[in-house]
Amino acid sequence: MSAGWVDVHHHLWPPPLVSVLDASGTAEIAGRERPEWSPEISLEVMDRRGIATALLSVSATGVHFGDDDEARRLARACNEYGAEVVSDHPEHFGYFASLTSMLVRAS
């Protein structure tokens, strides 16, 4: 790892997730326009801001939109894409895997 900051909250927009959002007509996330994303765009931003490594995770949308089977398929596709990005740029990116649900039942 080269000298510089480590960004532990860096969103990526995997093409499978973008396709689902496009198909549903979702252009905004949390009141903001969905950004264009690519590893190259992130690397440019990281260079400008002195960030050596970014730990990627799927955006605030997550991967679950009501259908459990579709969520599992989408999580796998997003995770495979994230693994590919890390494999292509191991010195700059890590990846937090997407899970199908963030719900936890309190006991």
pLDDT single digits (tens) 55-86: 999 988 889 988 889 999 999 999 999 999 99
Q: Where do the domains of the chain lie?
A: 5-95
DSSP result, 1-65: --SSEEEEEEEE--HHHHHHHHHHT--EETTEEPPP--HHHHHHHHHHHTEEEEEEEE-TT-S-S
pLDDT single digits (tens) 9-60: 999 999 999 999 999 998 888 788 988 999 999 999 999 999 999 999 998 8
Residue type, 80: E
What's this model's pTM, rounded to 2 decimal places?
Answer: 0.87
Q: Which residues contact 77 (CB under 8 A, 6 or more apart)?
A: 14, 16, 17
Residue 30 · residue 60 · CB < 8 Å: yes
